[in-house]
Amino acid sequence: MAGGKSKRMGQDKAWIELDGEPLIQRVATVLAEVADEVIVVANEPRYASLGLRVVRDKYPAGGALGGIATGVAAASHDTVLVAACDMPFLSAEMWRLLLSHVGEADVVIPRVGGEYETLHALYAKACVPHMARAIAENRLRVIAFFDQVRVLAIDEPELRAVDPTLRSFTNVNTPEELATALSAP
């Protein structure tokens, strides 16, 4: 997911480098370890330089939910891993944990501090019509359709078994968050 406006960062987050690598490339590299296909949902042509399939956001006014719906609909497989481009510390082990629950629900989603990690989750194609309906009704919170599908929340004890500090869920939305990420061990 690389369709955001990066207003709080003041520049396109996807292309900010961490350890000499753009954030979006770091995300794509981890996803490629656990997925057969990596798709970038974005509206800017420069994402083609990554050598990945780029899909234009079908719902540009639909926020994150629109981007998720676009990516899930465009994917070749029934189960789709969704990640934001500003999550520099994704781990293949965390994705494998989520993937171990495929088939148990339409959405397999980490829950940290009582909040869903909607941009680090698995979504089945069965979610797409429910997402589209929520967008059409201007209900743009990612969880707007959750009451219409089977949702499996993976809570902190299970998440911490593979990522004790939950660093996988770190995202960088502001220059301050980026500075913290850059100084983290």
Give pLDDT, residue 5.
55
Give pLDDT, residue 182.
66
Task: Say if CB 145 and CB 131 are below 8 A apart.
Answer: yes
Helices vs. strands in the chain: H and E counts, helices first: 6, 9
pLDDT digits (tens, 9 = 90+) for 71-82: 999 999 999 999
Q: What percent of the chain has pLDDT over 90?
A: 69
Q: What is the pTM of this model?
A: 0.90
β-strand partners of 116: 111
136 pLDDT band (50/70/90 cuts)?
very high
Q: Is 170 exposed, middle or buried (0-12, 13-18, 19+ CB in 10 A)?
A: middle
Is the pLDDT reported for residue 4 higher than 70?
no
Phi/psi of residue 32, each to 5°? -65, -20
Give pLDDT, residue 8.
53
Closest CA to 137 of 147, 127, 145, 125: 145
In whole angstroms, give the CA distance from residue 70 to residue 66. 6
End-to-end CA distance of the chain: 26
DSSP string covering 96-109, please? HHHHTTTTS-SEEE
* Averaged pLDDT, 36-40: 93
* Averaged pLDDT, 155-183: 85
β-strand partners of 55: 41
Is the pLDDT reported for residue 9 higher than 70?
no
Is the pLDDT reported for residue 3 higher than 70?
no
Residue tagged 């465009």 (tokens): 74
